[in-house]
Structure 1
Amino acid sequence: MSGLRARAALASATLLAAACVCAESVAQAAPPDWSGRYTVVTFASSKLGTSIAARQPEPDFSAQYTFSTSCAGTCVATAADGPAPTNPTVPQPSRYTWDGARWVFNYNWQWECFRGDDVPREFVPARSLVFYAPTPDGSMFGTWRTEILDGVCKGTVVMPVAAYPA
């Protein structure tokens, strides 16, 4: 009987472990929630790309925003209660859509191309894709990729980004 009890206990433990794994998978598949205060950092000093703008020195920049998530079919996290962008053509507020693995913000705007200290800046069409992928500790990491469509700065600029709970 001792061998049967051992097998029954093993079978029971295996079923319990499988149930836990299954429950964990279902929990991970639940709609995400990007809510609360976050410090958002753009690592501009690490930018890459084909545009001359990617080679122009720029410091990293950060700001705090309050995010709230609404799920009505599609989950959308909206950034509020933070500074407005210095470029007024960036859509406001920023709205990130959950694609099943990451938060994505895709938008069209006007890139402000720096062409030298005594040369007027050039505003040209651009499109950006920003994404943040959540990590187990609650922070998020991703990329901000911009394609500048015209002018002297034509090309791509890619910068790492992060969001940390504040």
Structure 2
Amino acid sequence: MAGTLIRPMDTASAAPVGQIWTGRFSVVSYASQKAGTSPAAQQPEADFTGQYVFKTDCVSGVCIATVVSGPRSTNPTVPQPLRYTWDGARWTQSYDWQWDCYMGPGAPKVWTPARSFVYYVPQRDGSLEGSWRTDILGGPCNGNVTMAVAAHPVW
């Protein structure tokens, strides 16, 4: 399945001028390069990649790209399905959830309220690049974690 991304919409159509994020994409979160003020930003973590299918709907006058298939987060507090809103320059998503703070081998994780903001900017080659910032609102992982993200069309 081909991915479609940077296709300005015809202004004569029923949908607003914007972007379409539709098709299969390989999405990467560069967790190995994360930074921030939280102790979690210093904990080693591998990058994670998954293939997701996105579908954009602009019927309401606002373009929303929804993940319609792909791996779910291992954290049950992450909202599903993932939905990104086109703001005129990038795809964005904000959500509240519970950060599962790793406390070391054999120790139970500490769950703490968190707020994330993710954005993806379309690139000329059809891919998207952006950032994922999470503010952890207390507990032993209090602070923020930021990592780069990308989505590449799977042709």
The TM-score by the shorter chain falls in which range?
A: 0.7 to 0.9
Q: Indicate which of 9, 33, 46 corresponds to 2:20.
A: 33
Q: Indicate which of 29, 38, 63 corresponds to 1:51.
A: 38
| Residue 108 (structure 1) aligns with | 96
Task: Quote how far apart the aligned CAs of 1:93 are.
Answer: 0.4
* TM-score between both structures, scaled by the size of structure 1: 0.82
> Which has the larger share of helix?
1
Distance 1:159 1:111 in 2: 15
* TM-score between both structures, scaled by the size of structure 2: 0.88
| Residue 13 (structure 2) aligns with | none
Task: Quote how far apart the aligned CAs of 1:73 are.
Answer: 1.2
Distance 1:80 1:52 in 2: 33
Q: Indicate which of 148, 160, 163 corresponds to 2:136.
A: 148
Distance 2:19 2:79 in 1: 23
Task: Quote how far apart the aligned CAs of 1:26 are.
Answer: 9.1
Equivalent pairs counted in the alignment come to: 142
Report which of the two structures shows the higher radius of gyration computed on alpha carbons: 1
Distance 1:80 1:43 in 2: 22
Q: Which has the higher contact order (CA 8 A, sep 6+)?
A: 2
Q: Indicate which of 66, 84, 91 corresponds to 1:78.
A: 66
| Residue 48 (structure 2) aligns with | 61
Letter in 1 for 2:126: G
Distance 2:68 2:95 in 1: 17
Distance 1:109 1:26 in 2: 34
Distance 1:61 1:51 in 2: 20
Task: Quote how far apart the aligned CAs of 1:162 are.
Answer: 0.1
Change (3 A) 1:26 1:39: closer
Partner of 2:40: helix, strand, or coil?
helix
Q: Aligned-residue CA RMSD in angstroms?
A: 1.7
Moved over 4 A (4+): none
Q: Percent identity?
A: 55
Partner of 2:84: helix, strand, or coil?
strand
Task: Quote how far apart the aligned CAs of 1:118 are.
Answer: 2.5
